[in-house]
Structure 1
Amino acid sequence: MQLPLLHLDDRVAAFAKPSGLLVHRGWGDAPVVFVDLAERALGRKVFPVHRLDRATSGVLLVALDAAAAALLGAQFEQGLAQKRYLALVRGVPPERGCIDHPIPRREGGPRVPAVTEFERLHALERYAVVEARPRTGRLHQVRRHLKHISHPIIGDVNYGKGEHNRLFRERY
């Protein structure tokens, strides 16, 4: 498998991560992870600047040296760089909102502050497309927060609505 390279300069690269690919080792027994493919594509060590869930596709930034990784990581922490997610959700949420709901850092762990802002971009009869902007970086934050406001992501079998989401995930 080859990752589409979206940007490359002397300090950073951006790749399109497909759904179903782990970013790095440690969350399962995947024979190949994103970091392996990025290092193979560039012929050098890379430093992931952020994560995307296995089920999430999107742009993933990697630094090409430790100093660039520290700088970019600090920019995310300070809010100078942001993640934005597009999601197809069940139901029609408000035009915009802020979900301020603590979630566990890890499954079963103590709850910690978590904030996600969202904006509805398009709505159909029973579905909507939203842009979600997490302000904190918790495990499965966007997925959990959208479920918390009763608008789960279509196709999300962990935080979604049973058979309905399984059907979408299998067919699309």
Structure 2
Amino acid sequence: MCTDQKPLLKVLYQDDCLAVVSKPEKLLTHRTEIANGDQYFALQLARDLFGKRVWPLYRLDRGTSGALMFAFDPQTVSALAQQTHETFQKQYFAIVRGTSEKTMLIDHALKPPVDPYLRVQKTEAQEAKTLLTTLASAEVPVSSGKYETTRLSLVKLELLTGRRHQIRRHMKFIAHPIIGDATYGKGPLNRALAEYFGRDRLYLHCCGISFLHPRTGTRVSITDRLDGDFAETVKQLRWVNYI
């Protein structure tokens, strides 16, 4: 979906060497071959917002909302890139099909997705680990396969490794696909739930990041609360404690 209206980036954190903004859903992090007519990108908006060149520290998929970090100089990029997943942590909220275990470690190696724009493709499966915590569950009167209703869960996910589409692919692997995921989810169910809720999006949101500041070495933790369509769906499901 193209982004025609200029989105607004909410600043969650800013200092002399980096900033964290809240990326809206359906906004690409930067211009790519899949832009498909998009006029605005988070990188461009952040550059205009801060009045200087910026470097994204990681990418959020088009449909994923939430905390997105930009550095103001290459030295900060290099320092943060050297941090491991033990020191640079990212957490996500997602609404998924079904009810999973209360807590579980998803330890499932992933092959890099095929990228038609790369001449050399990596084919070896890479270690991939995601920590899942189920926060709330509900049942809605939307048919799913042979069932007349659908159970949904709000989960919190922490990346212990960083593979492309890791969360979305891991949730598909454990048979709890993310609602609204057109690539790894269930198309008929996504459409039925979009009609039921009256809103259509990928229910994946980067709700928090924590890292060691590249200059001071102190830990910085930033939270990005749910809002917009995600928050409205959470209210509809009576999971208001997590907004």
* TM beyond 0.5: yes
Whole-angstrom distance in 1 between the partners of 2:100 and 2:135: 10
Shift of 1:156: 1.0
Greater mean deviation of Cα atoms: 59-68 or 159-168? 159-168
Q: Secondary structure of 1:68's match?
A: helix
Q: Secondary structure of 1:103's match?
A: coil
AA aligned to 1:9 is: D
Cα-to-partner distance string for 1:34-69 (whole Å, 9 max, x where unaligned): 100100111100111111111100010111111111
CA contact (8 A) 1:155 1:167 kept: no
Q: Relative contact order (C-alpha < 8 Å, sep 6+): which is higher?
A: 2
Greater mean deviation of Cα atoms: 106-115 or 135-144? 106-115
Corresponding residue for residue 11 of structure 1:
17
Correspondent of 2:189 among 154, 164, 168: 164
CA contact (8 A) 2:85 2:160 kept: no
Shift of 1:101: 1.1
Greater mean deviation of Cα atoms: 118-127 or 36-45? 118-127
Whole-angstrom distance in 2 between the partners of 1:167 and 1:33: 30
Alignment of 1:45-64 (within 5 A): 45-64=53-72
CA contact (8 A) 1:21 1:34 kept: yes
Corresponding residue for residue 124 of structure 1:
138
CA contact (8 A) 1:119 1:130 kept: yes
Aligned residues: 171
Alignment of 1:35-114 (within 5 A): 35-75=43-83, 77-107=84-114, 110=123, 111-114=125-128
CA contact (8 A) 2:85 2:159 kept: no
Shift of 1:74: 1.8
Q: Secondary structure of 1:136's match?
A: coil
Q: CA RMSD in A?
A: 1.6
Q: Which runs of 5+ in 2 are unaligned?
A: 1-5, 116-121, 140-150, 200-243
AA aligned to 2:17 is: R
Shift of 1:123: 1.6
Cα-to-partner distance string for 1:61-93 (whole Å, 9 max, x where unaligned): 111111111122222x35201110100111000
AA aligned to 1:166 is: R
Q: Kindly name which structure, 1 or 2, has the bigger radius of gyration based on alpha carbons.
A: 2
CA contact (8 A) 1:156 1:166 kept: no
Q: Which runs of 5+ in 1 are unaligned?
A: none
AA aligned to 2:183 is: N
Whole-angstrom distance in 2 between the partners of 1:27 and 1:138: 20
Greater mean deviation of Cα atoms: 45-54 or 86-95? 45-54
Q: Secondary structure of 2:13's match?
A: strand
Shift of 1:31: 3.2
AA aligned to 2:19 is: A
Change (3 A) 1:4 1:112: same
Identity of aligned residues (%): 39
Q: Secondary structure of 1:14's match?
A: strand
